[in-house]
Amino acid sequence: MNPLLSIKGTIISGFVLSAVLVLAIGGKLVDIEHYLRWLHYLSGVTWIGLLYYFNFVQVPAMASAIADKEPGPAAIGKYVAPLALVWFRWGAVVTWITGALYLQDHGMLHAAFTLSDGAAGIGIGAWLGTIMLFNVWVLIWPNQKKILGMVDATPEEIAKAKKVALLASRTNTLLSIPMLLFMGYSHNGLGM
């Protein structure tokens, strides 16, 4: 069976290939710090990739689909958006948790969130990521459920939900730019 014929097989194969390549260069398979950072990057790519997909692809496509009326926005709203929102929400959670664990493992969690000397750069990134996580779960997701018909809402509530979800999503897109810079602050030659 070809593992590339299913997403589960593809993901498992990606992890197996990663382990083989680590061993091939003489690396250690049991290095929690590196895997924590790796999971942080992997989940972050999922989260921010979907954020950009929503803002750069889906929102404009929905506007075109509504204007076109055939086939209309039903396929995106019924099949694509709900699944993408699952990966989006949980990518945000895993990114935040692995980032916090990584900071804790380095004894920097408190310093980062208090913007203390030596951790202000990564702390700004952590705070921006925290605001973005809040936006995902408190503003975007509850309003998307109304927009997609997953919960009952009046036409007025749906109109308001569209505005709130769009603005929260655009805020996250805006925040993602400095957040990504500051998450790699010390590695970008900017400090620390």
SS (H, E, C) 34-100: HHHHHHHHHHHHHHHHHHHHHHHHHHHHHHHHHHHCCCCCHHHHHHHHHHHHHHHHHHHHHHHHHHH
The confidence score (pLDDT) of residue 42 equals: 94
Residue 177 pLDDT > 90 = yes
Please answer whether residues 150 and 89 qualify as being in contact, where contact means their C-beta atoms are separated by less than 8 angstroms. no
Measured distance CA(44)–CA(138) in Å, rounded: 19
Residue 151 CB-half CA count within 13 A = 10
pLDDT band at residue 62 under the 50/70/90 scheme: confident
pLDDT band at residue 191 under the 50/70/90 scheme: low
- Determine the number of helices (DSSP H) and then strands (DSSP E) in the chain: 9, 0
30: left (phi over 0), alpha (psi -120 to 50) or beta: beta
CA proximity to 147, closest of 74, 64, 65, 53? 74
Residue 186 pLDDT > 70 = no
Overall pTM surpassing 0.85 (yes/no): yes
User: What is the DSSP code (8-state) at residue 5?
Assistant: G
pLDDT band at residue 192 under the 50/70/90 scheme: very low
- Per domain, the residue ranges of the chain are 1-30, 31-188
Which amino acid type is present at position 167?
Answer: L
Q: Between the ranges 56-70, 116-130, 132-146, where is the mean pLDDT highest?
A: 132-146
Which amino acid type is present at position 174?
Answer: L
Measured distance CA(56)–CA(185) in Å, rounded: 26
Q: Which residue has the higher pLDDT, 105 or 64?
A: 105
CA proximity to 118, closest of 66, 186, 26? 186
Measured distance CA(155)–CA(42) in Å, rounded: 38
Residue 53 pLDDT > 70 = yes
